Structure 1
Amino acid sequence: MSQLPEQSAGPSVPTSADVARLAGVSRATVSYVLNDNTTVRISDATRRRVREAAFDLGYVPHAAARSLRAGHSRMVLLPAAQQLPGPLHQRFFTDLQTDLRRLDYTVVQYGSVGLDADEAVRAWAELRPVAVVAPGGVHLTPHRTGVLTRSGAKAVITLGPQPVEGAHALVLDQREVGASAARHLLSRGRRSIGVLMPQDPGLAVFAGPRLAGVLRAVETSGAAARAEPLPLAYEEEPAARLAARWRTLGLDAVIAYDDEYAMLLMRALQDAGVGIPEETAVVGAGDLMLGRLLRPRLTSVRMELAAAQPPAELIDRLIRHPGGPRERHDLLRARTVVRESG
């Protein structure tokens, strides 16, 4: 009778008991040290000995087992559902992850590309996170938020231009970006303003509110002014075609989606012989260093994040005290930095 070949034993997985033996302490002490538990007094020398033993053995705590013992997860899920518009948002997520880890949360980024909204939410729920911080690329509804809370999420927080019913909201109100640029141009006597709208669908969630901010500022200005959306792909040829017919549009200013689109059009307008800012003032958004190196230097809307409480501490509080009223926190501040282009 044939027999199955014996399976070669793989390397043994180190356990907390192994760490305890090597360090000469109890397993409870290992748990307190490696989970950064400060409620129990343990000498610095013992903590150092435990960490050195864990390092030597290649031991890391088992997150799932820790969650089972605690009765809840420590995972905060950050779905990567959309393109992030610029370095400001990248810094926000970097700082958020760093601060959450300091608070002893396991931060997991999850890609949802190719999934529709219902599929994405179910995929998030399968991971049983204790909290979800969802960018605006996946449209949350009260039903989808309920799927997450029923799976164990104590806090569902959206990050985007508008709050979502049933979820806490960190609001980046992009309307103020467009409004700030429009108010500046109107104060300079510009009355016919083009608004560059990127054709990249991933940017629509931010571009739409910025346009709305421009339109609102023009409408409430009391001036005989107008604003015209101008769709543009981020490529040289479409920019050159737009610049070639610029004088037929009757525009004396343009607000670009961001500094990169502003620089793209500025170069095309200059190549077409359109004077900046004599014929057309140009305003970008993002205040990139490269825009300050152009000639003329680029006027731009600078965006800053400001919150009464650091977002990681806010998320921690919402996790520890679930069930309260839904909170809204406005994070975005916008101001126009005036330079030579408009």
Structure 2
Amino acid sequence: MRHIPEEPEAQGAPPRVPRQRSTGAVPTSADVARRAGVSRATVSYVLNNATAVRISEPTRRRVREAARELGYVPHAAARSLRAGQSRMVLMPAPGAPVGALYHRFFHDLQWALSRLDYTVVQYGSAGLTGDEAALAWAELRPVAVVAPGIHELGPAGVAVLKRSGARAVITVGPCPVEGAHALLTDHGEVGRCAAEHLLARGRRRLGVVMPEQPALAVYARARLAGVRAAAARVGAEVTELPLAYEETAAARLAADWPERGVDGVFAYSDEYAMLLMAALQDRGIRVPADTAVVGVDDLMLGRLLRPRLTTVRMDLPSAQELAELVDRTVRHPGTSPTVRDLLGVTLVARESS
């Protein structure tokens, strides 16, 4: 570990006065160094949380206080140029609501990556998918990409990202992608878990809510397949129920509910389950006496409903684990792609079923 000597004020010398800067000028690390009475190298070590050098805590506090007073923040692009490598991790935005659980998980992941000194950028893909999306992401030269399966990234897209300098490409979805590390999320297991619960309660005419949002189709189709597989084993019926996330759409679906003959519903998510339950109850359809309802995500609001919502809880690993996988892959880019299961499921039975 290198030792950086302290840089105290000369004894008896007048205090250093920061040079006045022009109004509106962007503060630099040189300004921070002058105000803190240290070298620019020390400023860099402190603000980049360098661990290879030893700097006293009083000096660290002085540098951070000077940076705060000046409103200085490190320049991520300049830091990448000096290091010869980007520290940007790109996380494409899903493009549609994917549930509170995923939002919470990816928020935690961003925090964990920032603690490892990565700059996390969430990219709004504006409807881009597959190789087209990969080309847009590559323009930013990220060192790593964590791509939800909703973007349908393929082998060609992975190759484009690696040629642009991405050391780690990690996909999160139902199947692995050649050349990328894969975190598998088996949403068929989510549907199977919900269906087996409804079937165990004696329901034999199952409805499956299919969100009318194209970006959710990859998850909805997998969950539907899981329900069909469970129902086929006992000869139960399965009916698809297309539904937009709107009160009027739920009201229309509930209006002809008796003709559908559905006695159990897997509602894709807790949000859709609550939307449908309210519409059914407005029509005088009793939950669960007439129709049992199961959601996904185990949201707090579902526990506050009456009847309380039965749900499938998805058990995800800690965001810290995934952040460490990103970091290891960036530091050792030649590592062979790995495939691991990301998702576990647990049925949480309550009154709605």
TM exceeding 0.5: yes
Letter in 1 for 2:256: R
In the alignment, does 2:324 pair up with 1:313? Answer: yes
Cα separation, 2, equivalents of 1:59 and 1:299: 50
Whether the aligned pair in 1 keeps the contact of 2:36 and 2:66 (CA below 8 Å) is yes
- How many residues are aligned here? 332
Q: Which of 291, 296, 299 does residue 310 from structure 2 map onto?
A: 299
SS in 2 for 1:137: helix
Whether the aligned pair in 2 keeps the contact of 1:194 and 1:229 (CA below 8 Å) is yes
Q: Which of 221, 235, 259 does residue 248 from structure 1 map onto?
A: 259
Whether the aligned pair in 2 keeps the contact of 1:88 and 1:304 (CA below 8 Å) is no
- Please list the CA deviations of residues 83-117 of structure 1 after superposition, one character each: whole Å capped at 9, or x if unmatched: 24211111111111111111011111111114454
SS in 1 for 2:151: coil
SS in 2 for 1:325: coil
Q: TM-score, normalised by structure 2?
A: 0.87
Cα separation, 2, equivalents of 1:56 and 1:266: 53
Letter in 2 for 1:55: R
43-52 or 292-301, which deviates more: 292-301
Cα separation, 1, equivalents of 2:319 and 2:70: 43
| 1:285-296 aligned within 5 A | 285-296=296-307
The equivalent residue for 2:3 is: none
Cα separation, 2, equivalents of 1:178 and 1:63: 43
In the alignment, does 2:327 pair up with 1:332? Answer: no
Cα separation, 2, equivalents of 1:58 and 1:283: 50
- CA displacement at 1:132 relative to structure 2: 0.7
The equivalent residue for 2:37 is: 24
- Please list the CA deviations of residues 103-135 of structure 1 after superposition, one character each: whole Å capped at 9, or x if unmatched: 011111111114454443222111111001112
CA gap of 1:51–1:273, structure 2 versus 1, over 3 A, is closer
- Percentage identity across paired residues of the two chains: 67
Give ranges in structure 2 of 5+ residues lacking alignment. 1-21
Q: Which of 57, 77, 97 does residue 70 from structure 2 map onto?
A: 57
CA gap of 1:55–1:128, structure 2 versus 1, over 3 A, is same
| 1:80-159 aligned within 5 A | 80-115=93-128, 117-159=130-172
142-151 or 83-92, which deviates more: 83-92
Cα separation, 1, equivalents of 2:271 and 2:84: 48
CA gap of 1:60–1:187, structure 2 versus 1, over 3 A, is same
Cα separation, 2, equivalents of 1:259 and 1:58: 43
In the alignment, does 2:240 pair up with 1:229? Answer: yes
CA gap of 1:253–1:27, structure 2 versus 1, over 3 A, is same
246-255 or 304-313, which deviates more: 304-313
- CA displacement at 1:245 relative to structure 2: 2.6
The equivalent residue for 2:181 is: 168
| 1:170-249 aligned within 5 A | 170-219=183-232, 221=233, 223-249=234-260
Cα separation, 2, equivalents of 1:303 and 1:114: 27
SS in 1 for 2:182: strand
- CA displacement at 1:205 relative to structure 2: 1.9
Once superposed, what is the RMSD of the aligned Cα atoms?
A: 2.1
SS in 1 for 2:77: helix
Letter in 1 for 2:333: P
- CA displacement at 1:32 relative to structure 2: 1.2
The equivalent residue for 2:86 is: 73
SS in 2 for 1:61: coil
Cα separation, 2, equivalents of 1:233 and 1:26: 59
- Please list the CA deviations of residues 214-253 of structure 1 after superposition, one character each: whole Å capped at 9, or x if unmatched: 112223x3x2212221112223333333333323223221
Cα separation, 2, equivalents of 1:257 and 1:282: 10
Give ranges in structure 1 of 5+ residues lacking alignment. 1-8
- CA displacement at 1:10 relative to structure 2: 6.7
Q: Which of 251, 273, 294 does residue 284 from structure 2 map onto?
A: 273
Letter in 2 for 1:134: A
SS in 2 for 1:278: coil
Whether the aligned pair in 1 keeps the contact of 2:297 and 2:313 (CA below 8 Å) is yes
CA gap of 1:133–1:317, structure 2 versus 1, over 3 A, is same
Cα separation, 1, equivalents of 2:178 and 2:300: 38
- CA displacement at 1:322 relative to structure 2: 0.9
Whether the aligned pair in 1 keeps the contact of 2:112 and 2:319 (CA below 8 Å) is no
- CA displacement at 1:58 relative to structure 2: 3.0
- CA displacement at 1:159 relative to structure 2: 1.9
CA gap of 1:335–1:27, structure 2 versus 1, over 3 A, is same
Whether the aligned pair in 2 keeps the contact of 1:200 and 1:233 (CA below 8 Å) is yes
Cα separation, 1, equivalents of 2:75 and 2:319: 35
Cα separation, 1, equivalents of 2:91 and 2:218: 18
Letter in 2 for 1:213: G
Whether the aligned pair in 2 keeps the contact of 1:15 and 1:59 (CA below 8 Å) is yes
